[in-house]
Amino acid sequence: MTIKKLGARRWSLLLAAVLSANALSIVAPAAPAQAAAFCECVKYVKTRYTLTHVGDAYQWEGFLPLEGWTKMTVGTARVGDIVVWDQWEMPQWGHIAIVQAIYGSSQGLSMVFRGSNQAGTKFTQNNCNNVSDWSSTTAWGNASFFHK
């Protein structure tokens, strides 16, 4: 009878240990998600298209062809193209964004540019908490457009 009690006790201890280990693994908290952060315009575009170069926005006019992007005229701009302004248009670092929409307006051609660290109502995307859609009827005139 003592052997049976010891055997039953061992099984109950083993079962308790297994249940305890499983309970711990079930209730253990997952690693916290990385909080969205303020992003410079370059970081947002780099993250969205998995680009590798490092530099200020105006420098991307030279970097994008190295990443397989082709410079286009404004007349051939398409949704999804990357647009770059030099440091004279957007002092001192330039600006880079993505063409979100192209449409006609009473003022002529209008474009919406999605990017971070620019005018517009902010929202979170690609782990950046300062993304916005910026609409302009004139800003595209002095920009460079790139398509892949």
Residue 116 bridge partners (DSSP) = 131
Sign of the CA dihedral 126, 85, 83, 138? positive
Q: Are residues 98 and 64 in the same domain?
A: yes
Strand partners, 95: 85
Residue 35 included in any domain: no
pLDDT in tens, 28-62: 444 455 678 999 999 999 999 999 999 999 999 99
Q: Is 101 helix (H, G, I), strand (E, B) or coil?
A: strand
Residue at 36 is within a domain? no
What's the number of domains the chain is made of? 2
Global confidence as pTM: 0.74
pLDDT digits (tens, 9 = 90+) for 66-114: 999 999 988 889 999 999 998 887 778 999 999 999 998 888 889 999 9
Give the span between the Cα atoms of 80 and 99, in whole angstroms: 5
DSSP state of 56: -
**What is the per-residue pLDDT for 34?**
67
